[in-house]
Amino acid sequence: MPYLRTAIISALNGLVPDRARHLLGRLRSRPGRPVVVVGVALRDGAGRVLAARRHGAGWELPGGKVEVGESERTAGVRECAEELGVQVELLTRLPGREPCGEWHVLRVWTGRIVAGTPVPLVHAELRWVGPDELAGLDWLPADQPFVRRLADGL
């Protein structure tokens, strides 16, 4: 088995770096150890939160998986650039973590946009929502407890 693992890792060296990093992360993950997904609750100056609707699914906070060797903070910044085309600053992590899927857990950070205007590069729709509108959206199950915390704190 170690030979096969070495052969696979060697073969991945010729791939595009981002794709190789993603595949290496899958090889290195151990059963029973969840993959962390970072959600980013971006707030604007008017107290609203940016919601992103997936194609064919519900609403979520933008974000994605933490890659191998990456911190949650770095992953959140990278994911916002990839998904929204903006530069962000992450501020604080909300307490708790929620299961999302069989091998993933969601952790949420608050943040603010420091450069750019969000565009839906991978989502069907983006919407700035105020505290009174948060509960009215069909949030994905893992996001719901965090959205309630955000609504309580706005």
DSSP string covering 140-151: -TTTHHHHHHHH
The domains found in the chain, sorted by start residue, are: 1-31 (no CATH), 34-153 (3.90.79.10)
Confidence tier at 18 by pLDDT (50, 70, 90): low
The pLDDT score that the predictor gives to residue 87 is: 98
pLDDT at 75 over 60: yes
| H or E, element range at 82 | helix 72-84
Closest by Cα among 68, 1, 60 to 33: 68
What is the mean predicted confidence (pLDDT) over 82-97?
Answer: 97
| Residue-wise pLDDT tens digits, 124-151 | 999 999 988 999 999 999 999 999 999 9
